[in-house]
Structure 1
Amino acid sequence: MDTTPALRIGAVNYLNSKPLIHRFDSLAEELATAHPELAGVRLLCDLPSRLADSLAAERLDLALAPAFEALAEPSWRIVSDACVAADGPVSSVKVYFRKPPAEVESLALDEGSRTSAALCRLLLRQRHAAEPRRERLPIGASLTDTRADAVLLIGDRAMHAPDPAVRGDFVAEWDLAEEWRRDTGLPFVFAVWTSRHEEVAPAVVRLLEACRDGGVVCFDSIAAAEGPPLGLTVEHAERYLRRNLRFTLGPRERRGLELFERACREAGLLSDPATTHDA
């Protein structure tokens, strides 16, 4: 009897990741008939930052991890060309400023964020030599729950425009992927399939890429199922998936990821525990 533990794979429970796990269970079951290593594989969804923690704690074997975490941990490896990236405005990673960016002294960072937190800090440092005091913005909190000079929101909640009653409190807004592309001319990679194991079975990679390949031709049905529960119209959700996101780690995405790693290392962010854990 095979007593090999079932694989534990973690994914982000955001709209932007749904195409990467499209039909995961059924595809895993189909592939398991020829690849026993996929038998009983489990998909667990959580916040990006918590997935990285679970991978580090060996509660997961593989995860759609924040790109920043994949770069920060030397023993982890990127195992697939399926990813979450943007080549221009992403719409779901935004910074709202109560003061001009050059004058920001305090920054509230979305609890679910690590890659975006690092990118925000990097842009503020590169553009304005700013290193604002940081605080954590809990999941479920809104722009009005903090008086920080700047507030980073990621994921589904960032796709909703601020309430008109508070919109006037903010003097500027950054879409972080758009700002990155403006500065570099390259896409920004937010998340990658990452393993803590040296070797990953080819069947696992095949599963991940089969999910992605099926997902990117089903934006309409994914949007219909996932958009309304998030308070988004089907049209808005489909437009977001189709126009704002990229799901393949191609040559330009790899160059963007390499540049982000180099910039973070030069800025000391990858060696700074406060980048992630003290947010």
Structure 2
Amino acid sequence: MGPLSQEQLRLGRIGYLNVLPIYYPLESGIVSHNFEIVSGTPSFLNGLMARGDLDLSVVSSIEYARHPERYFILPDLSISCRGAVKSVLLLSRNPIDQLDGETILVSSQSHTSVALLKILLSLFLGKKAVFEPASCTEALERGKQPVAFLAIGDEALRLRHHPEYPYQWDLGQVWREWTGLPFVFALWVIQRQAVERWNGRLAPAIRSLSSAKKWGRTHLNEICLQATGENILDIEELHAYYDCLGYNLDSDEQRGLELFYRCLHRIEEIGEVPGLEIYSISEHSGGSFQPIERFNFPLNGAMLFNQTN
């Protein structure tokens, strides 16, 4: 193995259209970087990060909640929405409020989306359902006709107009209407061990990600042209899709994330509510990272828990 300076950071990449504005500038050479990029589903990347096989990655936001001791959150990066997200959909044959006790097929590719559905059914509607992990597309192709299914990512974009499932929840929209806050589906995190190992030499990597996000968000026409190659959406639909997505992690996104974590604790998906430990490049330490103090925002959604008590 060569000197540390010659090594590449292993960076995880979700294989969905929603990350294209950040990864296309990196993979095409528009933004220089020192990453080895590894692609996979959100759950696959969560597993690689949990085992320490990646240095940094986009991960489901629930992964940080389950293992905050392993990670620092990278600054000002997320996959989020302030309303409809279009790619996290509950599709049902019956009205959503009639799903109490029913079995819902759920994608095994995103733990965050499944947890969000549990929260919305339990705390928002006061309903319970049975969740069965499955590939929604494969189930439908085999002739299985579930009462309802949760589809995410590119699968949701393909199935969103299924004629036999007229009732639909866009989970980003429902969360927004319920809480008034954005929902953060994914974060970029870095292993704490990687921070120690690289000892302050991570600043160029974070700047590359920041530059890629800036380029991608200001060149959406090119991003959409690239995305048409997946044959999922046409160019107008792609523009509408990317307009729904946010890639920042501002104070509103942080408040939404913290409320999500409180809801996870409420439904006993996590043992305690983690603080958000975010790293930023210090101007006074030669480009190393310094932790920002844990945020403790007052949450407008605190009264939501009273609705189902």
What range is the shorter-chain TM-score in? 0.7 to 0.9
Q: 1:247 to 1:117 in 2, by over 3 A?
A: same
Question: Hey, what's the Cα distance between the residues in 1 that align with 2:160 and 2:247?
Answer: 28
When structure 1 is superposed on structure 2, of 84-93 and 232-241 the one drifting more is 232-241
Paired residue for 2:82?
87
Q: Residue 147 in 1 paired to residue 110 in 2?
A: no
Q: Residue 248 in 1 paired to residue 245 in 2?
A: no
Paired residue for 1:102?
97
Tell whether the 8 Å contact from 1:156 to 1:230 is kept in structure 2 after alignment.
no
Q: Which runs of 5+ in 2 are unaligned?
A: 273-309
Paired residue for 1:178?
173
Fraction of identical pairs, as percent: 27
Q: 1:160 to 1:99 in 2, by over 3 A?
A: same
1:99 shift after superposition: 2.6
Q: Tell me the SS of whatever aligns to 2:138.
A: coil
Paired residue for 2:228?
227
Paired residue for 1:10?
12
Question: Hey, what's the Cα distance between the residues in 2 that align with 1:148 and 1:57?
Answer: 34
Question: Hey, what's the Cα distance between the residues in 1 that align with 2:30 and 2:65?
Answer: 29
The one-letter code sitting in structure 2 at the alignment partner of 1:82 is: L
Q: Residue 70 in 1 paired to residue 67 in 2?
A: no
Tell whether the 8 Å contact from 1:80 to 1:208 is kept in structure 2 after alignment.
no
Q: Residue 137 in 1 paired to residue 104 in 2?
A: no
Root mean square deviation of aligned Cα? 2.2
Paired residue for 1:55?
49
The match for 1:24 among 26, 30, 45 is 26
1:3 shift after superposition: 4.6
The one-letter code sitting in structure 2 at the alignment partner of 1:220 is: N
Q: 1:171 to 1:220 in 2, by over 3 A?
A: closer
1:66 shift after superposition: 0.5
Tell whether the 8 Å contact from 2:14 to 2:58 is kept in structure 1 after alignment.
yes
Tell whether the 8 Å contact from 1:88 to 1:178 is kept in structure 2 after alignment.
yes
Question: Hey, what's the Cα distance between the residues in 2 that align with 1:112 and 1:230?
Answer: 21
The one-letter code sitting in structure 1 at the alignment partner of 2:133 is: R
Deviations 1:32-60 (A, max 9, x none): xxxxxx3xx20111111111011111221
- With structure 1 as the length reference, what TM-score do the two structures score? 0.85
Tell whether the 8 Å contact from 1:10 to 1:63 is kept in structure 2 after alignment.
yes
Tell whether the 8 Å contact from 2:21 to 2:212 is kept in structure 1 after alignment.
yes
Larger RCO (alpha carbons 8 Å, 6+ apart): 1
Paired residue for 1:128?
125
Paired residue for 2:40?
46
When structure 1 is superposed on structure 2, of 180-189 and 193-202 the one drifting more is 193-202
Question: Hey, what's the Cα distance between the residues in 1 that align with 2:156 and 2:139?
Answer: 10
Tell whether the 8 Å contact from 1:109 to 1:134 is kept in structure 2 after alignment.
yes
Question: Hey, what's the Cα distance between the residues in 2 that align with 1:45 and 1:142?
Answer: 24
The one-letter code sitting in structure 1 at the alignment partner of 2:122 is: R
1:239 shift after superposition: 2.0
Q: 1:258 to 1:143 in 2, by over 3 A?
A: farther
Tell whether the 8 Å contact from 2:136 to 2:151 is kept in structure 1 after alignment.
no
Q: 1:6 to 1:139 in 2, by over 3 A?
A: farther
Q: Tell me the SS of whatever aligns to 1:232.
A: coil
Deviations 1:141-180 (A, max 9, x none): 25465433220001112123556xx62x335210000000
Question: Hey, what's the Cα distance between the residues in 1 that align with 2:51 and 2:236?
Answer: 39
Question: Hey, what's the Cα distance between the residues in 1 that align with 2:150 and 2:140?
Answer: 9
